[in-house]
Amino acid sequence: MLPDVKHIGHGLPDHDSLVARDARHVLHPWADLSTLGTQESLIIAEAHGIEVADSAGRTYLDAIGGMWCVTVGYGHPELVEAMAAQARKMAYFTPFGDVSSEPAARLAAMLADLTPGDLNRVQFTTGGSTAVESAVRIAHYYFASRGQAAKRHVLSRVNAYHGGTYLTASLSGKSADRTLFQYESDWVHHLESPGYDPDTSPVSAAERLDGLVAGMERAIAGIGAENIACFVAEPILASGGVLVPPPGYHEATLELCRRNDILYVSDEVVTGFGRLGHFFTSEAKFGVVPDMIVTAKGLTSGYQPLGAVIVSDRIAESLAANADRDKPVFSNGFTYSGHPVACATAVANIEVMRRDDVCGHVLDVGPYFIRRLRELRSSSIVAAVRGDHLMACVECHVPGEDGPTARNQALARRVDAYCEEAGLLVRPYENLCIMSPPLIITRGEVDRIVDIMADSLARAEHDLR
Ligand code: PLP
């Protein structure tokens, strides 16, 4: 899918001093503070196709997809050209009020076309967190403007990840991230984590579903439906550990929302844009038409920061019809909401994905990826392999020890380090090795990932003896 062949791995002449400058001056997102000042960061300097190269000149197969986001591969000439052309033509102008840009108008119409039902109104943001946060603000405004200001509580789930702003971090439910920050808890509620693994679960999928639905019903009754604005949910929980809910979960939770006049916000920041073989999975895969869909990451294949919340006409029309007559301004948005260069990149990305049938490719290679990864379950240090199409994880454990214990986390870090040594980047989280490769990955590259994972697991298993 990439016409030009490019050699990467040249390295940078000032590699050592870059590492030193990074260690001295950068406060990395999600950094381990115990290594502040001494960390030796991997500085990624070049990338092409599904490979990246660091500043020392070492190359790696990128099984992380940047960060769930690089879909059509690195260095795609059409995306690069779209970015450059828009920057030359008009790099930036305010998106506020009644001002817009050509790429934003084009992209909004394309997104309306790609989303199900009457989701036709797009508010652009700067990324996933700002899009989730905007969705909650829209839900709040929607109910407040209809005289139901009490409806402002938000339902999320344990193990969810919705972003790094204060509100979206409050919505997130990963215990590892719940550190010294004081998150909003008066009106944010976490339902049970909905993952279901048929390989390891002691109960049937139907029993698990019943339990989850009953839990949500109890939570709604306890809080009071008259106080709840929305339910925010990733179709498959991504960075919380690639947790796949039991069949029927999405329909059942949507039905509960409908019955209780709670808006359903589908966070498709990871699951959207082809990772599961569809532009959006809510309806295509899970049979639900949400009130709002949030997207980011794969929207631009990670080439530019951009997010969007796509809202139903029903909600958008209500916002307009019931707006405060004295102050009808919807006061939400950012300087770089729908940045023209980012929107032009997304337009090119969608055109490439459609033309090359990238989703069709994922529907073919995705099941092969999961099938091959599942072979790794024969290792004694693999507790589980979970996933769907091109989002997956390998859960590591010291045999007989369950969960993200300190020893299990250390073991996963060791597997991760062996992978890196062998030229494969996977993403460590607790005792998991998470994978979300670019969608253009071939079967041969899947085999390389599985081979390196198998060797790394064998080395780590040997170290335990
Ligand atoms: N929602 C989900 C499901 C995510 O995985 C992420 C980021 O990983 C976000 C929201 C936040 O997106 P961003 O980091 O672009 O703000």
Q: Is the CB of 296 under 6 A from ligand 1?
A: yes
Which pLDDT belongs to residue 19?
96
* Measured distance CA(402)–CA(400) in Å, rounded: 7
Task: Give the tokens for residue 375.
Answer: 């072979």
Residue 233 has pLDDT above 80, yes or no: yes
* Measured distance CA(232)–CA(162) in Å, rounded: 9
> Stretch 162-180: mean pLDDT, rounded?
93
Measuring from atom 2 of ligand 1, which residue has the nearest CA?
162
Share of the chain above pLDDT 70, in %: 99
Q: Is the CB of 127 under 6 A from ligand 1?
A: yes
Pairing type for strands 307-312 and 432-435 reads unpaired
Distance 163 CA to ligand 1 centre (A): 5
Q: Is the CB of 268 under 6 A from ligand 1?
A: no
Q: Is the CB of 267 under 6 A from ligand 1?
A: yes
- Cβ atoms of 436 and 275 within 8 Å: the answer is yes
Residue 239 has pLDDT above 50, yes or no: yes
Which pLDDT belongs to residue 1?
53
What does pTM read for this prediction? 0.97
Give the position, in ligand 1's atom list, of the atom nearest the Cα of 160.
3
385 backbone dihedrals φ, ψ, rounded to 5°: -125, 120
Distance 239 CA to ligand 1 centre (A): 9
Which pLDDT belongs to residue 178?
87
* Measured distance CA(397)–CA(201) in Å, rounded: 17
At 358, the pLDDT band (50, 70, 90 cuts) reads very high
Residue 2 has pLDDT above 90, yes or no: no
* Measured distance CA(145)–CA(325) in Å, rounded: 10
Residue 452 has pLDDT above 70, yes or no: yes
Question: pLDDT, tens digit, for every residue of 403-432?
Answer: 999 999 999 999 999 999 999 999 999 999
* Measured distance CA(330)–CA(337) in Å, rounded: 14
Measuring from atom 8 of ligand 1, which residue has the nearest CA?
163
Q: Is the CB of 129 under 6 A from ligand 1?
A: yes
Contacts of 465 (CB under 8 A, 6+ apart): none
Share of the chain above pLDDT 90, in %: 96
Q: Which long-range contacts (CB under 8 A, 24 or more apart) does 377-380 make?
A: 377/199, 379/454, 379/457, 379/458, 379/461, 380/461
Distance 10 CA to ligand 1 centre (A): 32
Measuring from atom 7 of ligand 1, which residue has the nearest CA?
163
Pairing type for strands 153-157 and 119-125 reads unpaired
Distance 156 CA to ligand 1 centre (A): 14
Task: Tell me which DSSP letter residue 52 carries.
Answer: E
Give the position, in ligand 1's atom list, of the atom nearest the Cα of 67.
8
- Cβ atoms of 268 and 235 within 8 Å: the answer is yes
Distance 304 CA to ligand 1 centre (A): 14
* Measured distance CA(253)–CA(331) in Å, rounded: 30
Measuring from atom 13 of ligand 1, which residue has the nearest CA?
128
Residue 181 has pLDDT above 60, yes or no: yes
> Stretch 277-292: mean pLDDT, rounded?
97
Which pLDDT belongs to residue 90?
98
80 backbone dihedrals φ, ψ, rounded to 5°: -60, -45
* Measured distance CA(320)–CA(305) in Å, rounded: 28
Give the position, in ligand 1's atom list, of the atom nearest the Cα of 296.
15
Which pLDDT belongs to residue 66?
98
Residue 3 has pLDDT above 50, yes or no: no
Distance 265 CA to ligand 1 centre (A): 14
Question: pLDDT, tens digit, for every residue of 82-113?
Answer: 999 999 999 999 999 999 999 999 999 999 99
Which pLDDT belongs to residue 176?
86
* Measured distance CA(158)–CA(235) in Å, rounded: 14
Q: Look-up: residue for tokens 């709840």?
A: 228
* Measured distance CA(430)–CA(266) in Å, rounded: 25
Task: Give the tokens for residue 167.
Answer: 């509100």
Distance 267 CA to ligand 1 centre (A): 9
